């Protein structure tokens, strides 16, 4: 079976309802209202000038689609399969010194979506990715996963430098096993602002950093948390220098999703096939 044989037909198989945002996703920036507790300007107005229709437009948002698989049986089964794969020399590579007895991490090869025994994972992640394509209202013939791979961290200083995924539209990370689950030490996937100009001046904030005033976002994850995002959005895994794994490995499955179809507006025509 090749990845192309395994493409998800856009309208018939994806089981995504037509019309409206798929999967119940909503954009929530947390900045729908302005609350200045202390006046920014020192000047008192002599006559109050009434202002109406205040609104905040979110321009060019970087959307992170978050969901969580609640089926612990499925998650445990995938975890077992990945742990078994780490013992198969033909399935991936250990990070660090070759042959070291105590490796930091392990990475499968990126054709996991085509491997026997991972069909259910492929089909699930493809379905979720297809919903994201539909949310963007992209006109495509099919959606398919170009690659899928497992990442395993055995120790807290497992890390993955900030990066993007070239030649891809959407990427995803499914968190199968998280050390220090549900806490800030869960070693989540960390996202960073792709706009360098936005960080030229970075004032302190009075309360907490939030989506509209921070350059780094580390959403807390639980076992089963799935993130899907544009492939150009920089992300990575920070080392956890504060808490031990307590014997629980960090396991994720990452993937890239691409379209089949024509792009023929405003450019030289392109066909992705
Ligand atoms: Fe990545």
As a whole number of angstroms, the distance between CA 95 and CA 151 comes to 10
CA–centroid distance, 212 to ligand 1, in Å, is 23
CA–centroid distance, 164 to ligand 1, in Å, is 6
At 60 the pLDDT is: 87
Whether residue 205 has pLDDT greater than 90? no
Other C-beta atoms lying within 10 Å of the C-beta of residue 69: 18
CA–centroid distance, 63 to ligand 1, in Å, is 16
As a whole number of angstroms, the distance between CA 176 and CA 157 comes to 18
At 107 the pLDDT is: 96
Burial of 10 (0-12, 13-18, 19+ CB in 10 A): buried
CA–centroid distance, 172 to ligand 1, in Å, is 8
Domain range summary for the chain, segments of one domain joined by +: 3-272
Whether residue 6 has pLDDT greater than 60? no
CA–centroid distance, 86 to ligand 1, in Å, is 19
Q: What pTM, to 2 d.p., does this model score?
A: 0.86
Report how far apart the first and last C-alpha atoms of the chain are (Å, whole number): 17
Cβ-based neighbours of 54, under 8 Å, separated by 6 or more: 34
Lowest mean pLDDT of 30-39, 98-107, 125-134, name the range: 30-39
pLDDT digits (tens, 9 = 90+) for 210-266: 778 889 999 999 999 999 999 999 999 998 777 888 889 999 999 999 999 999 988
69: closest CA among 227, 240, 211, 200?
227
CA–centroid distance, 11 to ligand 1, in Å, is 28
Protein fold of 3-272: Jelly Rolls (2.60.120)
């Amino acid at each position: 079976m090749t990845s192309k044989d395994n493409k998800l037909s856009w309208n018939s198989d994806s089981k995504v309802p037509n019309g409206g945002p798929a999967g119940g996703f909503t954009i929530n920036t947390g900045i729908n209202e302005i609350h200045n507790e202390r006046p920014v300007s020192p000047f008192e107005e002599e006559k109050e000038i009434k202002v109406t229709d205040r609104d905040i437009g979110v321009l060019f948002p970087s959307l992170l689609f978050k969901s969580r698989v609640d089926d612990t049986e499925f998650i445990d089964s995938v975890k077992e399969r990945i742990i078994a794969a780490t013992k198969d020399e033909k399935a991936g590579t250990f990070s660090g010194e070759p042959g070291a007895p105590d490796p930091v991490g392990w990475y499968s090869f990126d054709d996991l979506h085509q491997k026997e025994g991972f069909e259910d994972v492929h089909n699930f992640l493809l379905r979720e990715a297809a919903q994201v394509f539909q949310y963007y209202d992209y006109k495509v013939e099919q959606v398919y996963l170009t690659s899928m791979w497992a990442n395993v961290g055995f120790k807290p200083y497992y890390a993955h430098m900030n990066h993007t995924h070239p030649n891809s539209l959407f990427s995803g990370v499914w968190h199968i096993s998280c050390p220090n689950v549900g806490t800030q030490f869960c070693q989540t996937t960390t996202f960073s602002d792709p706009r360098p100009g936005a960080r030229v001046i970075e004032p302190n904030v009075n309360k907490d950093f939030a989506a509209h005033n921070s350059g780094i976002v580390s959403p807390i994850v639980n076992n089963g948390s799935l993130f899907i995002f544009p492939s150009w959005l920089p992300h990575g895994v920070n080392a956890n220098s504060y808490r031990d794994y307590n014997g629980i490995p960090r396991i994720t499955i990452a993937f890239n999703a691409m379209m089949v179809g024509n792009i023929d507006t405003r450019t030289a025509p392109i066909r992705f096939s």
